Amino acid sequence: MAPIIPMTFLAGASGRWRITRIAQHTGPSLPPAARLEVHPGHDRAAAAAAWALRGSTGHQRYVEQAEKRQLVAVQAGLERKEATCAALIPIRKSAAWWELAQDERRKIFEEVSRHTAASMKYLPAIARRLYHSRELGEPFDFLTWFEFAPEHAALFEELVGLLRATEEWTYVEREVDLRLTLEPEPAAP
Ligand code: HEM
């Protein structure tokens, strides 16, 4: 069983990642910030200069055995040396989504929207990790995190466009789209 990893995304004046864009996609955006740090655990949230979002990896809800095997065979891990670009896309789904039964959600997620099947071809260029936030009482249900090399930035845009056109996305009521680059903080004057 995969371990549960709690994580906090802290935005403010410092952090390894430089925030290059915070774009409001659906619903209210997040306050502007210059940099972001990703901290294991949840105890640093109060230290945020601008904002903090908490999430934890969790058990998979929709992936079936054959899909899991395929994913494991092609997916890349985080923190590859060449993956100096990242995206943080916090997402909240509507009450209508959460009122659906598990089988109805799986049907929309995969049989209709083909979330896993259609996204698979973007691996291993795009590395991903999904954090669950809803159970923590956070403003978003999910924090989705992606890492890729600069030459795959256009590929990532294509993937995001593809998913946003699906039926699954008609249930997304808040989505903010952050892009980041791994850059050392400028030395203090
Ligand atoms: C890199 C290619 C991608 C692959 C292979 C992929 C695959 C998956 C898989 C297998 C799950 C289901 C996990 C489970 O069973 O609980 C999932 C969930 C999710 N993914 Fe993706 N994904 C990709 C890209 C993206 C992108 C770009 C976004 C956001 C724009 C995104 C947003 C989400 C969200 C919000 C969920 C949670 C859905 C829910 O539980 O209702 N994914 N993804």
pTM: 0.97
CA dist 43 and 31 (Å) reads 21
Q: Would the pLDDT of 108 be above 90?
A: yes
- Asked if residues 88 and 143 have their Cβ atoms less than 8 Å apart, the reply is yes
Q: Is the per-residue pLDDT at 48 higher than 70? A: no
Q: Is the pLDDT of residue 61 over 90?
A: yes
Burial code (b: 16+ CB inside 10 Å, e: under 16) for 106-119 equals bebbbeebbbbeee
What is the mean pLDDT of the segment spanning 78-91? 98
Question: Residue 185 Cα, ligand 1 centroid: separation in angstroms?
Answer: 31
CA of residue 116 to ligand 1 center, whole Å: 7
Q: How confident is the model at residue 7 (pLDDT cuts 50, 70, 90)?
A: very high
Q: What's the rounded Cα separation, in Å, for the pair 92 and 114? A: 19
Which of 57, 98, 119, 156 should be mutated for ligand 1, with most atoms under 8 A from CB? 119
Asked whether residue 189 carries a pLDDT value surpassing 70, the answer given is no
Query: What's the pLDDT score for residue 36?
Result: 96
Stretch 53-78: mean pLDDT: 95
Q: Give me the mean pLDDT over the 118-130 stretch.
A: 98
Please give the Cα distance from 121 to 125 (Å, whole number): 9
Residue 186's pLDDT band (cuts 50, 70, 90): confident
Predicted confidence band of residue 73 (pLDDT cuts 50, 70, 90): very high
* Distance between CA atoms of residues 65 and 62, nearest Å: 10
Higher pLDDT, 49 or 113: 113
Q: Is the CB of 75 under 6 A from ligand 1?
A: no
